Each structure stands twice: as C-alpha cells, then as structure tokens.
Chains A and B, each alone.
Chain A
Amino acid sequence: MFALRPDRFRPASAAGGAGQRRGTPDARTGPTATVEVFVDGIPVRVPEGASAAAAVLLAGSPLIRETPVTGAPRLPYCLMGVCFDCLAEIDGIANRQACMVPAVPGMRIAPQRGARVAFRS
C-alpha cells in the first residue's frame, strides 16, 4: 500500500468518499499538482507525472492483474518497464504496461483479469 508523501502533500481532511481529494498540494515543497483518474471505477488523485501503475498503488488496489496462467494476483514489481507485472486495462485497451503510461485526467484503469477477451460475438 502506498500513500502520498506526508512531507509534500497534506493528508486529506476526511477519509473516503467518491471524488475526495486524497492529497492537497503544499506550496512549500515544489510542484504538487494532481490529476484525477479512476481505478476500477473509483476516483483517486495522483500527482501529475505519475504513471497509471502508481495510481493503482496509490488507490490501494489489492491487485493490478491476475495472471493468465494460474490467476495469481499481482501488483507492479519493477515500475521501470521490465517485469510486465503491471499489465492493466487502460481506457478500454487491455494489457497495457501501466508503469509506462502517464496518468492523465479522467483516465480509467482496470485490473487485467486473466487472459483478455478479444472478441464477443
């Protein structure tokens, strides 16, 4: 589980609640602008420049994907494009390497559960 840095972002005044700002910028410690994205449908604010994988970690999701081999849960492991354990569905596109995709306002990130469905008749 990850949280915004206490030295840089003031903690939210109240916990939970859809649309709640998880962190409020603090002017003393540099750029702290945030963007809102949706992780599995739930809004979460993440600093500008963070990746979609970071958003999933900040959202506290239990997993970002289930492996297609055994269904085991995974979260990002390397965050630098090496391990491919961050494959997620981003804005409707399956199996994207979430650690290489910058979070942008309104982005929708959903976990990748097992093998993707390529076609529905």
Chain B
Amino acid sequence: MSCDLAIIGAGPAGMAAAVEAVDLGLSVAVIDENPAPGGQIFRGLEGAAGDAALGADYAAGLPLLRAFRALRIGYRPATTLWHLEPEEGVLSLLAAGTTSELTAGRVLLATGAQERPVPIPGWTLPGVMTAGAAQILLKTAGAVPKGRTVLAGQGPLLWLLAAQLARAGAPPALILETRPKGRLAEALRAGGLLAGAPLLAKGLALLAKTRRIPRLRAVTGLHAEGTGHVRRVLWDGGATECDTLLLHEGVVPATHIPLALGLEHDWDEAQRCWRPRVDAYGASSHPRVAVAGDGAGIGGWQAAVAAGRLAALDAARRVGRLTEAGFARRAGPLLATRRAALALRPFLDALYAPPGWVLAPPEDATLVCRCEEVTAGQVRAAARLGATGPNQLKAYCRAGMGPCQGRMCGATVAALIAEARGTTPEAVGTLRPRAPYKPLTVAELARTG
C-alpha cells in the first residue's frame, strides 16, 4: 500500500488535513489508534453531539467530522503506528493483531497532546485521575463520578469539565485552584487580550457557569490519601473527604513519536514543555515529516484545524499539486485564522503556568514513574551521582522503562535532574523513545512482513 500523505491522528488537525489534501487531489491514509475519529476534543462526538451537557463548542466539531467521514480515503481506526522509517517513508502498523506496512510520500504527525502529569503524593491511588479522563467518561460512557468529587489544578479544561459535570447533574464539591497568586498580573502583561477578546469572552462565560461551585485559590502542597482508594485530599492548611480526585495542570504536546524519530525540538519556556521544531506549515527538521496541531505546540482545536490544512497545502505544493501562487492564495487566510486562534495563548500560558511543585515534586517519597514505581528521591540521588539527563537516569533507576515508555514521567524526571544539578530542563534534554511506540505482542511482530 502506498499514498501521497499518511496522517497519524484523526483529531481536528488530522481530519482537517485529510479533507484539504483530498480536495487537492492527494491520495491520503489516516491512521488512528482510537475506534472513531474526533481526537481528544471531539471524542465520541458522533454519538453524543446532541448532548447539551457537553456544550456548544463540542458540537461545533460536527461539520468537520462529517466532512471527514464523507472522504473516500484509507481511514484506519483502531490502528497503531509502532514504527516509522522516515528515510523510506515506511509506516509499520498494527490493527486487530495483524501487522502491515504502508509507504507514504509524506507523513503528517497529528498526534495531539497529553495531559501534563501531576505527580503529587498519592496520585497513583485508585480514585485519582485526570480531568481529561473524567471528560472522556462523560463523552463516551455517559458516566459521571459518584459521591464527592474534588477538582484540583488549573487551566481552561478544568473549568470546562466543572461546567460539564454540573450540567450533567454531578457538580464537583470543591475546586482547588493551584494557580499561584500574582499570575493574573503577569498574564495581563503577556498581552493578547484584545485580539483574543472573543475567546476570552467564551472563557469568562464558562467561569460564570461554575460560580456556584465552592473553590479555594492558590492552593499548594496537594496530597491524596487513602488505603486502597483515595479518601481525602489535603493541602497546606486544609483537607477534605473525597471519593474522586481529578487533577489537571494543562496539556503538553505528545512528543513520543517525534522524539523517537529524532526530530529537532525546542524548549517552550512559556508552556514548560518540548515541542518539535516546525515552520509555519508544519514542516519538521526531517524532509518527509510534518507535525500539526497540539502535537507541535498547544493551541487548541481551531488553531489545529488551520495547522492541519496548512500542512496539507504544503504536502500538495511539494508534489506539484499546487503552484506557489495557489499555495499562497490558500495559505493566507489560514495563517490569519490560526493567528486569531492563538491570540489569547500568551495570556493563557502566563496565567496557567504550572507551579514549580507540580513540575518537580518536592517530597522525595512521591512516585514519579508510575510504571516502575520510582520516587522523586531516587531520581534526585541518581542525578547527583552523575545522570545528566533522562536517558542515563533511566539506565540507573528504570524511570521510563515501563509500558508507558516515559510518557508519564519523562518531563518530571528532567525537571528533577535540572533541580538537582542546578541547571534547566532545556539543558537536561529529553528521553529518546524507541520503537515499538506502542506495545505489540511477540507473535504479532513475528508475523510481520
């Protein structure tokens, strides 16, 4: 099998890229590990679009989703990419226990974001999960937390989830906001308010909807407690009972595959994360590979749609399906759309910058690597011994060696190394993930080819 453009990820960026690329006459394949298109934000949308609890922004994805569904392309849901050879453009895939290969002239990674880990003491207890996880349950399983729910953290998704839970009849009992004092002033200085006014208005409306939920501000020293299940959440100066604790400190690009490919990355100081280095059209440091959407830097779904379409234009231009003039004509409005969608970013990034104790847990006993159960203290000791980065540290104490391959602990480990060695996360660098990007069984691999 071969195609002009292989798109990994059927979220807003991937779907938009596919629609645009097909329109330009490219042959397209779309691979997604999820059983249905939509990505994180529009997850389950086809089944739940009419659901008032999820809000109007959710239903706004429907036209794109329908356009995507109408395409006659090789859309492969429930399929994982486990290896990519960029030199030859060969993708190794796994679906329903069977491996296959696909050759692509160009590869667009539209793999989106993941939630930033919030490694507090007790975060591995059953009953503690991410806000995003609760939202997924709401969208795809019509489920809400039972009993007393506490939301802790910060960021737009936290407020959105609070409003959605309230509308679904399960309002959280308490919101513990971790935004440190003084961030608002910093955020106002970061600017973007004027250009971002429409988005800001939406955000403020959202906040208003959660007005009735009790909240505490500038919470520090977050802690989950319980035997076998979370029973209490504690913070400096307080504690409360809970049955479910939902954590959220924003999202970061899912850099697993870009890093495994050895693409150049830049440290994004505003968002405190790494992002693949891309040009305005998503082209990465590898001539065959592009990255679009939140995977190239957090910007939200509208920016992702524009970025996906721009990447498709670029792909078409590269194979001569689009003249330079045609490219410029189509790209112009998209660049403007994306600029508008990103206008509020500096403000949001400054407002919701994660506090230091989330990035590098202060207590040595806190688990950092959930898979291999490695603590912050072990990571610090290994860093002091001489691990200058997460790869040597992984060799020393197994952090990042479990099934998640460091997706959950990589950033925390780097932050702890930076702290212990008196340097910056940027200088510390990243893990270098290897294939398989997602597990496959030995028998599945043995049958490849």
Contact = CB atoms under 8 A, between A and B. Distances in A.
Most chain A CB inside 10 Å of its own CB: which residue of B147, B370, B407:
B370
Interface string A37-48: 000000000111
Interface stretch (B125-133, B186-194, B353-361): B125-133
B169 A5 contact: yes
Nearest to B168: A5
B370 A1 contact: no
Contact of B133 (A67, A70, A80, A87): A80
Interface in A86-107: 87, 95, 97, 99-100, 102
B404 A62 contact: no
Contacts of B51: 8, 29-30
A78 B48 contact: no
B47 A49 contact: yes
Contact of B372 (A7, A69, A82): A69
Contacts of B438: 81
A82 B51 CA distance: 27
Contact of A54 (B35, B132, B141, B402): B141
Contact of B146 (A1, A63, A100): A1
B124 interface: yes
B140 A51 contact: yes
B373 A5 contact: no
B436 to A, nearest CB: 13
A82 B114 contact: yes
B207 interface: no
Contacts of A36: none
A7 B243 contact: no
Nearest to A63: B126
Chain A interface bracket (under 10, 10 to 19, 20 to 34, 35 or more): 35 or more
Interface string B39-75: 0100010011111110000000000000000000000
Contact of B115 (A2, A7, A78): A78
Interface of A: 1-9, 23, 29-32, 46-51, 54, 57-58, 62-63, 67, 69-70, 72-85, 87, 95, 97, 99-100, 102
B169 A77 contact: no
Nearest to B374: A69
Contacts of B372: 69
A82 B370 CA distance: 11
Contacts of A58: 141, 143
Contact of B244 (A1, A4, A76, A77): A1
Contact of A83 (B137, B141, B147, B404): B404
B261 interface: no
B404 to A, nearest CB: 4
A2 B145 contact: yes
Contact of B143 (A3, A77, A95, A100): A3
14 contacts: A2-B137, A2-B141, A2-B143, A6-B144, A7-B169, A30-B50, A32-B142, A50-B143, A72-B124, A73-B228, A75-B127, A80-B40, A100-B34, A102-B35
Given A1-B244, A5-B53, A49-B47, A79 B126 contact: no
A22 to B, nearest CB: 10
Contacts of A30: 47-51
Enumerate the 8 nearest inter-chain pairs by beta-carbon distance, A residue then B residue, closest first: A50-B141, A54-B141, A75-B126, A79-B133, A84-B403, A3-B146, A1-B146, A30-B50
Nearest to B127: A75
